[in-house]
Amino acid sequence: MTAVLFDFSGTLFHIESAESWLRGALAEAGVDLPEAGVTAVAEALTRAGALPGGAQPVQLPGDLAELWLVRDRSAELHRAAYTGAARRVPLPDPALYDALYDRHMTPAAWAPYPDAAEVLRTLRERGVRVGVVSNIGWDLRPVFREHGLDPYVDTYVLSYEHGVQKPDPRLFATACAALDADPRGTLMVGDDRRADGGAAALGCAVHFVDHLPVAHRPDGLRPVLDLVG
């Protein structure tokens, strides 16, 4: 393998808990909510699928169904989908819906998996080129910079910047071209068998990791080093 492509959420990084996300937005907006209310609202937002990078909606309302399928094709669609999901949950201040969305785009809302830095650094030392290919509606580069992982990434291919989302092979082809890498010598690492598995149509090898909280997956990326050789 001469190149490795990584997914972002659930692969290299994990979003904070729904409670932490809600508390951060409440603090930023200067809104108070009783402790019992924080827990209940966080659980309702989780069921609604309102936290990007978090759980999928338990039940997607009909008026959001079509939007949800294409939410990663632009920044506008992404915000509309997730704030639309959040608005299914009553909040004490209407400004909180946008505050919640804005909070999830901050570096503080994300934590790298414990072995992410080691794996990326080792790939760099071996001369293996690295790309990040993500279905997303915002610029995740500041997250990588803040957590010290940006020096190990050669290219970022983000769905909203290209109007194409995984599993469309064109997104993986764009990444391979940016890395000057033959797809047949490229490994795609991700947590979504449908979305990330789309790289196989291009000829890439594919390796899946479990989408788990950071504390529950300390070394899930290390097998990548053996696969690359």
10: tokens are 């659930």
Q: Which tokens in the block code for residue 71?
A: 């939410």
What is the assigned CATH class of domain 3-14+110-228? alpha beta
Residue 90: burial class (beta carbons within 10 Å; 0-12, 13-18, 19+):
exposed
DSSP-based three-state secondary structure for 165: coil
pLDDT in tens, the chain (229 residues): 999 999 999 999 999 999 999 999 999 999 999 988 999 999 999 999 999 999 999 998 898 999 999 999 999 999 999 999 999 999 999 999 999 999 999 999 999 999 999 999 999 999 999 999 999 999 999 999 999 999 999 999 999 999 999 999 999 999 999 999 999 999 999 999 999 999 999 999 999 999 999 999 999 999 999 999 8
CATH 3.40.50.1000 in the chain: give the residue spans. Answer: 3-14+110-228
